[in-house]
Structure 1
Amino acid sequence: MATLLHLDSSLFPQSSASRDVTATFRKEWEAQHPDGTVIYRDLAAEPLPHLELDGALAGFTAPDEHTPEQAAAFVLRDQLAAELEQADAILIGAPMYNFTIPSTLKAWLDQVIIRGRTSGEKPSAAGTPVVVVASRGGSYAPGTPRESFEFVQNYLEKVLNGMLGLEVDFIVPELTLARSNPATAHLVDLADASKAKAHEDAATKAKDLVSRLAA
């Protein structure tokens, strides 16, 4: 039975574009794979602590050499790494805040990236597929005026693939603020089309992953 690791990081529990799309993915995943397991973390509702000195040092120190403080701090890092390693697929909601990812998602990354285990020459979760829902209020696509301000996909591709060795795929609902911003009212049709495509992609990717893991 396959295991899905699902992370949401949007601050908004009701009006979040990224949460809506991850919910579509998860609903389809569970419909296709009712006997599977889902590990869920709402990083906004229950934020993880930032990585501090003892936890960081513990990642570079042999377990039998940990101080009591390092051992206590490493419990969480070990748990998060185990969840990552247990997952057959990963789903991440990553809305753009101030051109980059939410700090709560960055805290998860800092905790879960452990040199010599989840990162390094042989990352322990290498090859695991991850679908990232990278929603944003405007458009930062290639050729747009704000293309150079895009630090969500660029960053997550480097860290998820380059450090953790994961197989990264993005779903990008854009222009999510078109209906609430009078200055972008003329983009509502494009926003609606982007939203519809994101939900369609989420359902399709969930089905494809279930089929792939069952093969």
Structure 2
Amino acid sequence: MATLLHIDSSLFPDGTSVSRSVTAAFRDAWLAEHPEGTVVHRDLSANPLPHFDAAASSAGSVDPAEHTPEQKAAAALRTELVEELEAADAVVIGAPMYNFTIPSTLKAWLDQVFIIGRTAGSEQSIAGVPVTVVASRGGSYAPGTPREEFEFVQNYLEKIFTSLGVELDFIVPELTLAKANPAMADLIPLAEKSRAEAFEAAAAKGKAIAAAHAESTAATRS
């Protein structure tokens, strides 16, 4: 049975969040191909994870039999999160831009699952897994725009996920604040175009990834 790990990190609820709406479109397309599949949804805004701390860092270099209660709890959480990630056949992540970068809740998740010797480094336990990131943003930070140099979502996530060996792809709905900001009124048509393209890309990507997995599974069984 195929498994999709669906991660959202937007502060805003369904219906008002563009990143949530687009990740949901991906999920729905994936499920249409895998109706018997499992979706594991982790909402990092509704249920934030603890930030990576000294207990979590030190637990990896200490014999588990000698763990303090804090180290034991931190290690158990990291194991839970990593096993959840490793069990996924595909991952979709909502990563809206806040203050030029990713939400701190998403950074906390990344810190927990980035483990040298397991997911990163010479051993890459999720190598080859398709990861689709919905990198929504209120304005435009595309190449050639005035704020290009302030783009630290795709730049950062590309470096992180490349080091994990995954197959990374971005869907980038831009200008999401155009309707809410009078100063951006002239950009509404471009915003609507970007939004429509994002939904189309999410549906196509979800379907393609699910179909590729089904074909691979069938080939392995034959």
Query: TM-score normalized by structure 2?
Result: 0.94
- How far residue 70 of structure 1 moved from its aligned partner, in angstroms, is 1.3
Alignment of 1:41-190 (within 5 A): 41-162=42-163, 164-190=164-190
**Conserved 8 A contact 1:25-1:206:** yes
- How far residue 92 of structure 1 moved from its aligned partner, in angstroms, is 0.1
Aligned to 2:214: 214
**Conserved 8 A contact 2:4-2:90:** yes
Cα shift readout 1:82-123 (whole Å, capped 9, x = no counterpart): 011000100000000000000000000111111111111111
The 3-state SS of whatever aligns with 1:27 is helix
- How far residue 61 of structure 1 moved from its aligned partner, in angstroms, is 3.4
Q: Partners in 2 of 1:144 and 1:171 — Cα distance?
A: 18
**Conserved 8 A contact 2:140-2:175:** yes
Aligned to 1:40: 41
Q: Partners in 2 of 1:61 and 1:122 — Cα distance?
A: 20
Q: Partners in 1 of 2:96 and 2:189 — Cα distance?
A: 21
- How far residue 153 of structure 1 moved from its aligned partner, in angstroms, is 0.3
- How far residue 49 of structure 1 moved from its aligned partner, in angstroms, is 0.7
Cα shift readout 1:26-79 (whole Å, capped 9, x = no counterpart): 111111111111111000000011111111111233434533431221110000
**Conserved 8 A contact 2:129-2:167:** yes
**How many residue pairs are counted as aligned between the two chains?**
214
- How far residue 181 of structure 1 moved from its aligned partner, in angstroms, is 0.5
Aligned to 1:191: 191
Q: Partners in 1 of 2:20 and 2:198 — Cα distance?
A: 12
CA distance 1:188–1:43, change in 2 (3 Å):
same
Q: Partners in 1 of 2:141 and 2:10 — Cα distance?
A: 19
Structure 1: runs of 5 or more not aligned? none
Identity, % of aligned pairs?
66
Q: Are 2:27 and 1:26 equivalent residues in the alignment?
A: yes
**Conserved 8 A contact 1:59-1:114:** no
**Conserved 8 A contact 2:135-2:154:** yes
**Conserved 8 A contact 1:138-1:177:** yes
CA distance 1:127–1:65, change in 2 (3 Å):
farther
Structure 2: runs of 5 or more not aligned? 216-222
Cα shift readout 1:155-184 (whole Å, capped 9, x = no counterpart): 00001122x221110000000000111111
Alignment of 1:1-20 (within 5 A): 1-13=1-13, 14-20=15-21
Query: TM-score normalized by structure 1?
Result: 0.96
Cα shift readout 1:9-35 (whole Å, capped 9, x = no counterpart): 000003111001001111111111111
**Conserved 8 A contact 1:178-1:185:** yes
RMSD: 1.1
- How far residue 127 of structure 1 moved from its aligned partner, in angstroms, is 1.0
Cα shift readout 1:124-153 (whole Å, capped 9, x = no counterpart): 111111000000000000011100000000
**Conserved 8 A contact 1:95-1:134:** yes
